[in-house]
Amino acid sequence: MLIDQEHAGIVRTKTHPRQLGIPLSRWGRNLIACCPFHAPEETSLFFYDALGYWRYRCLQCGSEGDLIEFVMRSRFNGMDEPQARAEATEFLGAQEAEQQQDSFKDEHPWIKEIGGEKSKVLESFVRYCHWAACRSPSSAEYLSSRGWSIGQAQLYGIGYYSGDPEPFVSYCMLSGIERHQISFYLDNLEAYHEPRITIPARNSKGLIHSVYGRLMEDEGKGHPYISYASGPGDIPFNIQPENDKPIIVEGFFDALTADLAGIPGVVSTMYQELSLSHLYKLKACGADSVTLILRREANRREQEYRIQRYLKMAEELNLRFKSIVLPKDETIDQVLRKNGADQLITLIDQTEEDTVHTHRRSMLLQDIKENFDTAMACPPDVSVGYSLNTFPKLTKEIDGIQSGCFYVSSNPFGLKTTLLSSLALDLLQSNPKLKIIYIALETPRRQIFDRLVAMMIGESVLTVRKQNESDQINQKILEATRELMGYVRNNRLEIWEDQPAFNNTELLDILKGEQKDHPDLIVIIDGIDHLKISDRPDLSDIHERRSSVMLDLYKALDIPLFLGGELIDSENGLVGPRAYLRDSDAIYWLESKGGNLFLSVNSKRLGTNNLYRGTLSIDPESNRMQET
């Protein structure tokens, strides 16, 4: 039930649970006590200030209301409602509160904006959104999927906004709030029309400075949060005064689940990059040390460098610093619901304070354990890497296509493009979650389309470039074209051509963004000899420069990376740019001899020089390759 406007001023400005004369304990940012409204009494009664005034709610029996209603039920339960309300109002000193409310009319405009008019608008929006959440099946379903009940959500002012501002405007009219005030203080309200879960954000004094909206969709689809009210974006969510050891997490559910579990001082960056400004504000609230808990990212190397930057920022402010990276696919929200608060607190207590040395050591220990856990989770008969259905022996010998930098060449030279196309098509058809980016630096993109369609139907490239007399072949071309378009529509295949501005720096930036959206990524660069190199001027040899930047690309992404280029087979073995032969994890060499095709995979880095040698067949029409 939302509080009626007649008593809003009383309970918001004056009353506090301490006036009730009952034992209270701090629980996160809320207060907790024994519930007197059900037997046996349990410590399940929360007092919270999430909606702009103090309310109570029992998470066991469901009793709820404002503090006047609490006094009515607990002290004056035998009276009729009007008399009980009058006695409760007098008990809480309502007359003095009303006088205090009247004094706000002559406030300075700046005070009104910070704690008066702006707070009134934002608090009304929070109350309206909570009311809407209680009546919205989709928000209740979403909250339930995250392990939250409507009652728990109310403790923190979590609500629901449909994206339509008109019902809220009508609600505000009943409270004396004008439309222009809504537009001024909720200036982004009409910019976003998707239904969202709403979360009020308060500063260290407890005043709402913004209301966030979160999409009710799977994570990983862009930034999930927006702000309905413009304002400072560097105030940690759930920040509280007099907190000497704050715990910094990423998501708001992480912070609120920790608070609900009774862990004090857990704040969230709302998936923003941790900044010096965040740390300044925590220090101003009394922090002398901070603990940062992060989710495990796919690019562990980049994450480690970022944590080192955070450590330096903390040292600048003389803050002690701890960092914890959770195991893969785990969140604070999940850890707390699975293992409870005590285990997380123990983990934080047992984690060493970071210095440059201890940070490297702790990250190394986590990596070693995760590496072992990953290895032991893979059964002996399952490939570690991506499988190839038309290359089963190769898949078995190299244990699937795994992360690495692989150089591909052939004799005659043109066969390497045919091999790369065959591998790309096999990987797409054999691995439903995989995405391939094929960078064609030697061939027009249209020829790659034709080659892939021809390989799908077993016809020549010339056949697929025009309509045929056979309707059956035309139908096959149509179906294969639809399949190819399906890979593109489902974001599983991209084919890039060379462009005037296309270089390795641009390539790295684009691929980093691609990997965030699609962790199962393979990149094929067909024609590495033509890639433009815009950095590493310290290396005079162009092959050294290309090989160095490709190694940087591979280390940054940690994915399978195939580079197609030219090598020569001589009496002394494969001869070519030494940089590629030295830096590649493996060399894929395809050779035509006596009408047969032989593929060998050699690597000195993986324990043996000869990983695989097999005979391939090539379709005389489509040129698709496979093992014999």
Dump pLDDT digits (tens) for 400-451.
Answer: 999 999 999 999 998 999 999 999 999 999 999 999 999 999 888 899 999 9
Amino acid at site 617: S
Residue-wise pLDDT tens digits, 458-485: 999 999 999 988 999 999 999 999 999 9
Phi, psi of 210 (to 5 degrees): -165, 170
pLDDT digit string, tens, across residues 498-548:
776 677 788 888 888 888 888 899 999 999 988 888 877 788 888 898 899
For 202, the token pair is: 């308060």
pLDDT band at 254 (very low <50, low <70, confident <90, very high): very high
pLDDT grade, residue 577 (50/70/90)? Answer: confident
As a three-state string, the secondary structure of 34-61 is: CCCCCCCCCCCEEEECCCCCCEEEECCC
In whole angstroms, how far apart are CA 149 and each of 134, 145, 202, 438? 10, 10, 22, 47
Second-level CATH architecture of 392-627: 3-Layer(aba) Sandwich (3.40)
Question: Each residue of 91-105: pLDDT tens digit?
Answer: 877 434 444 444 444
Sorting pLDDT into bands at 50, 70 and 90, what band is 14?
Answer: low
The model's pTM is 0.65
Distance CA 2, CA 211 (A): 18
> Mind listing the pLDDT tens digit for each residue in 18-37?
888 888 988 888 899 999 88
CB 521 within 8 Å of CB 514: yes
Which value, in Å, is the radius of gyration of the alpha carbons in the chain? 32
Domain ranges of the chain: 5-103, 108-231, 238-377, 392-627
Q: Above 90 in pLDDT, residue 594?
A: no
- What local confidence, expressed as pLDDT, does residue 120 receive? 85
Q: Which residues are CB-contacts of 444 (< 8 A; sequence separation ≥ 6)?
A: 497
Residue with tokens 């929070």: 126
- Overall average pLDDT of the 204-227 stretch: 78
Give SS3 for 574. strand
Percent of the chain with pLDDT over 70: 92
Token reading at 145? 């999927």
Longest dimension (CA), the chain: 106
For residues 565 and 524, give the distance between their C-alpha atoms in angstroms, rounded to a whole number: 11
Helix (H, G, I), strand (E, B) or coil at 475: helix
Q: Does domain 238-377 have CATH number 3.40.1360.10?
A: yes
- How would CATH label the architecture of 108-231? Alpha-Beta Complex (3.90)
Per-residue pLDDT band for 109 (boundaries 50, 70, 90) equals very low
> What letter represents residue 404's amino acid?
G
Identity of residue 242: E
The Cα-based distances of 379 to 44, 108, 375, 383 in angstroms read 46, 70, 9, 8
Listed residue (372, 370, 366, 395) closest to 383, CA to CA:
395
- Give the CA angle between residues 300, 306, 310 to the nearest 5°: 140
Superfamily of domain 5-103: Zinc finger, CHC2-typedomain (3.90.580.10)
Mean per-residue pLDDT over the chain, rounded: 85
User: Which pLDDT does position 107 carry in this prediction?
Assistant: 42
Instruction: Please tell me which residue, 540 or 129, carries the higher pLDDT value.
Output: 129
